[in-house]
Structure 1
């Protein structure tokens, strides 16, 4: 058997579901008195899955705590069977898990499970998203009047919007702090949540509807002057002040880059 064929056969065995090594692979390997070829291959087969399961546990700790170790492992193994690794980096292993849950679980568990998985994956995305120079208070201190009027910005690349229907943030925070999970509850209204990275730390917070609408508009290309105008109907003469308050917070949180 040529080397490339041997490599392909070994990969097919390691990524397959059965831990029984095929005869054509065993014929190419020589065991030792202490460890036969079949047992050695089974060790590699089990170690491969153990590593994949460990990655999913690290990326979705709240999901595991909610489901329990056994049920989470069943979900993870079914997911790996449907979506085996397709990238050289294990960082992308859990990318399709929220999507997979939609076809694996039925309601009433489906929606909250998928929402929790989506939130946890957002933190993974934020952690190693590409860097960008955020808009800073120092750079804005030299703005001219025209700079303020024409100012446009976008969210930093690490930012992810989520619309939460359940107390998913509470579940995630309880897991993070090593506390028992609170009962699952549905929120009276959808909650806008942002997850992003700033100063090498992943951050998150929920936004009230008015702020969420303003930030979406501003990050979509609306100028600061346009933002003030759009807030006038609700805030009247206080619109510029409200826009300035929000802008100062967004800048201090490292949420924006200038466009």
Structure 2
């Protein structure tokens, strides 16, 4: 390994775990004093700037979570998350991928489950925005399909589609803060379901789902066909209403642009 490569690795290791005395010794031997600024001070400037940049990434990706926590608690979160999960990806987009899990398991923050839910929702909004582009099917594609082929028809969805479920009022709180109003106190009375996607105008959207809609959508995502999903809807609707519910829901999905193509299995 070249000396330059060794120096780069030692410097990066110092940035990722600046509290380690051994890492400081390793890189301190490769850095000199300059213009009245000691090597230790120069290294600390770089380390502080690096951590500030990572904190700014957290603030950008999780703006509403930051508002929900307030400055003091968000600073606490940033410091502890940076220590627990040093950046390991080349893109800052992935830096906060572990944040929801951290909030669920940290001794302090796990006392407030809504925080992990808000963080997860914001991660999914980012994933929806970043999803690859593809064609979008139209409802006429289903209408022109021969009726005998419908039972074996399954769906493929736009890559931006994301699913979210939680027991807290995380999304409602997110919406309130986004609208610059005070959110309600956290509550965890019932399971909530949401779909998130990027529309044809490249705007991220989301909507709430009831349980039957959630089961219908996740079943199609898993590859189930029309016949299987109509049967699944019998848990909520009778034999006459179930196919109509499925058809009406499909029409809504087509209009939202979340269906990529029809597949006959």
Q: Into which bin does the TM-score normalised by the smaller protein fall?
A: 0.7 to 0.9
Q: Which residue of 1 aligns with 2:54?
A: 52
1:229 is displaced (CA, Å) by 4.5
The CA deviation at 1:53 is: 0.3
Query: Distance in 1 between the 2:13 and 2:126 partners?
Result: 29
Q: CA deviation at 1:55?
A: 0.5
Match of 1:33 in 2: 35
Deviation readout 1:139-175 (Å, 9 max, x if unpaired): 3453232343432114433322222212111211123
The Cα shift of 1:107 comes to: 7.7
How does 1:191-230 map onto structure 2 within 5 Å? 191-199=192-200, 200-230=202-232
SS in 1 for 2:193: strand
Paired position in structure 2 for 1:171: 173
TM-score normalised according to structure 2 size: 0.84
Q: Secondary structure at the match of 1:183?
A: coil
Counterparts in 2 of 1:70 and 1:227: CA distance versus 1, 3 Å: same
Unaligned segments of structure 2, at least 5 residues: none
C-alpha distance in structure 1 between counterparts of 2:58 and 2:83, whole Å: 14
Aligned to 2:3: 2
SS at match of 2:167: strand
5 Å-filtered alignment, 1:1-259, equals 2-18=3-19, 22=24, 25-26=27-28, 28-30=30-32, 32-33=34-35, 37-106=39-108, 109-177=111-179, 179-199=180-200, 200-231=202-233, 234-257=237-260, 258-259=262-263
Distance apart, 1:135 and its partner CA: 2.5
CA distance in structure 2 between the aligned counterparts of 1:109 and 1:116, rounded to whole angstroms: 14
RMSD after superposition: 2.8
The SS at the match of 2:240 is: helix
Q: With structure 1 as the length reference, what TM-score do the two structures score?
A: 0.85
Distance of aligned partners of 1:235 and 1:100 in 2 relative to their CA distance in 1, 3 Å threshold = same
- In structure 1, stretches of 5+ residues that fail to align are none
